[in-house]
Amino acid sequence: MNRNDASQAPKTPATFHVKSFGCQMNVYDGERMAEMLGARGMTPAEGAEADLVILNTCHIREKAVDRVYSDIGRMTRDDGTRPMIAVAGCVAQAEGSEISRRAKTVDIVVGPQAYHRLPDLIEKAGRGEEAVDTDMPAASKFAALPGRTKQARPTAFLTIMEGCDKFCTYCVVPYTRGAEISRSWTAILDEAKALVDGGVKEITLLGQNVNAWTGDDDRGRAQGMDGLVRELAKIEALHRIRYTTSHPNDMSDGLIAAHGEIDKLMPFLHLPVQSGNDRILKAMNRSHDVSSYLRIIERVRAARPDIAVSGDFIVGFPGETDAEFEDTLKIVEQVRYAQCYSFKYSPRPGTPAADMDGQIPAEVMDDRLARLQAVINRHQVDFNTATVGRRADILLERKGRYPGQLIGKTPWLQSVHVTAPELSIGDMLEVDIVSAGPNSLAGEPSRRKAA
């Protein structure tokens, strides 16, 4: 590593700042890093004023990677000094020491499975040594991390499995996060209890294919995610359980049934399909087709009729014709998602699709994305409008813009603005939904619920 201007960075950082890009798992990892550094006596600080800045990066699309390099460039302070800079996350895993060649001010590169070793890497960097760790050690990082501290918010993420064995032809995740590994039953339950003891009321279970989680319970019986959810639901002070992201092929009968049986499991399912065309799904190596996907949605809706379904879509996968794109509009019309994420295909180095014939021109992708998003937005408004006049429990998560205003989420993950000056963040409240916009709802308290 070229350490030419390392003299401008602090040798023994006392303060830190973590900035996370990308998915919820990065948010979770960022929190664990912050808790670990906190446990070692370091204190949080703002932006480039911190002695150590950790950029917890995402490699999923080219744009996400560009943002990281522009951020690194902006770290130098007015007086010419700069923080110690660590690049963590999926760009770190994918590019390794290449990062510090491209951006000379990067002191540490640490992958998503090695960040428990950050303290050593900080010391190394302080001594001016190369500090790159993109190992995927057999022993889990989780065992080396300190326990969860009291949380500032009433909602928390909890990684229960990590990695992906599916190898969709467009996707970097199997390379950046490694193979699917489930955390143990006890580790998950212990962490959930610690979070709840620290005031958390809603836990979102995380995994790249979260519903592929498997493990043995404390009596040695094989369990799937539905068993785990059932056990978590026994934690009395835990009010709500969510999970993301699930894969259609891992939607077990037990998990589908759980949606109709476990009150604490929220009626929301993020189940990406990516395309509405079977030839494209095959080229994507998605290992499900349109009809098997629709069948799952049908069964989930039979188990829990009010469930809100969300999805992910990619437009402009190599070779996608106009007619094949139209099939994507069709599946969106059929499913009527409550919300969706949609992306232009981004060729990723090392993935099979990047070398496929028929890469789609940018203008065509722009046009397809705009048409898809128009349909998705219409359905999202429809979904929100349909909740007007309904009564819903919300968990108050943050303050609104006006005095006495609080914002909470419905079971269907919609944000609700409500004026309730006597209540606080973390309270549950029953509201009547009085109006709806594309991105949020307004509610009025119906009556105070025991929190």
Where along the sequence are the contacts to ligand SAH (CB under 6 A)? Answer: 60-61, 170-171, 173, 208-209, 245, 247, 272, 274, 312, 314, 343, 345-346, 348
Choose from ligand SAH, ligand F3S, ligand SF4, none: what does 343 bind? Cβ within 5-8 Å by kind: ligand SAH
What is the contact mask toward ligand SF4 in residues 126 to 165, using x (rule: CB under 6 A)? --------------------------------------x-
The tokens for 432 are 């009547």
Of 26, 209, 211, 328, which one interacts with ligand SF4 (CB under 6 A)?
209
- Provide CB contacts within 8 A for 19, sequence distance 6+: 30, 53, 54, 55, 56, 71
CA distance 83 to 48: 6
Query: Is there binding between residue 247 and ligand SF4 (CB under 6 A)?
Result: yes
CA distance 85 to 88: 10
Query: Is there binding between residue 208 and ligand SF4 (CB under 6 A)?
Result: yes
Least distance to ligand SF4, CB of residue 98, Å: 22
DSSP of 50-69:
SSEEEEEE--SSHHHHHHHH
CB atoms under 10 Å from CB of 291, counted, come to 9
Least distance to ligand F3S, CB of residue 159, Å: 11
Mark 205-216 as b/e (b = at least 16 C-beta within 10 Å): bbbbbbbbbbbe
Choose from ligand SF4, ligand F3S, ligand SAH, none: what does 174 bind? Cβ within 5-8 Å by kind: ligand SF4
CA distance 216 to 223: 6
CA distance 407 to 336: 26
Q: Which CB sits closer to ligand SF4, 164 or 331?
A: 164
CB atoms under 10 Å from CB of 257, counted, come to 15
CA distance 84 to 86: 7
Least distance to ligand F3S, CB of residue 272, Å: 12
Least distance to ligand SF4, CB of residue 285, Å: 8
Does residue 418 sit in helix, strand or coil? strand
CA distance 151 to 145: 16
Choose from ligand SF4, ligand SAH, ligand F3S, none: what does 61 bind? Cβ within 5-8 Å by kind: ligand SAH
Nearest by Cα to 244 from 218, 279, 199, 213: 213
Q: Which CB sits closer to ligand F3S, 172 or 229?
A: 172
Query: Is there binding between residue 22 and ligand F3S (CB under 6 A)?
Result: yes
Binding positions for ligand SF4, rule: CB under 6 A? 164, 166-168, 171, 173-174, 208-209, 247
Binding positions for ligand F3S, rule: CB under 6 A? 22-23, 25-26, 58-60, 89-90, 172-173, 176-177
